[in-house]
Amino acid sequence: MTSTINHRALRSAAVMAACAVALWMTFAVRAQQEPITQEVPDNYAAHPAPEQPLPYSHRTHVALGLACETCHAGGQTTAQMGFPDPGTCMTCHSAIAADRPSIQLLATFAASAETIPWARVYEVLPGVTWSHQPHLTAGVSCGACHGQVAQLDNMAMTTSVTAMASCIGCHESRAANTACATCHAWPMP
């Protein structure tokens, strides 16, 4: 029995050490980045946060030093940023808050290799051909469009990033192309 307890303690300590190193590396990279400045205006009307299958606080995770790219990947190669694989979350949560019901549900998703059915907060509107890739290549930060995500416990559409006027205003301020075909398939289907 003592060897089982020692084995659990060692495993828990190893997981905590791995998380600490991952967080330190993320924080070290993030410390070298420019401060985030929101360029897209806030929404005029409140948009409530959609119901999600698991509670998730950006405020908590960003305060630990996690950068957007730690969890959201794919923007360099796909139109939309992806959501993290549940196994990525379990890197830390196999030892941190593992007794919470939400983390136990997360562990179930990870064990079954099932993706979490997150509700997208920002949807690309019909008729718009949009991609993260050229924006990331141009050096646009996540916060420039998505705002103060680090302050949100429940992710909501706080900025007007999906409004055409916001896109045109940003393109004009950066001397980027504002022709219709830049963002819209032409001719429209």
pLDDT of the residue at 15: 52
**Domain membership flag for residue 26:** no
* Residue at 182 is within a domain: yes
Domain around 146 = 35-83+120-189
Cα dist. 171→60, 78, 123, 157, 179 in Å?
Answer: 32, 21, 19, 21, 10
pLDDT of residue 74: 79
pTM over 0.85: no
Residue 50, domain member (yes or no): yes
Q: Write down the pLDDT at residue 118.
A: 93
Is residue 88 a part of any domain in this protein?
A: no
Give the pLDDT score at 29: 42
Tell me, yes or no, whether 60 lies in a domain. yes
| Cα gap 127→189, rounded to integer Å | 8
- CA 55, CA 26: separation in Å to the nearest integer? 22
Q: What is the pLDDT of residues 10-69, one digit of tens each?
A: 555 555 555 554 554 444 444 334 466 889 999 888 899 999 999 999 999 999 988 888
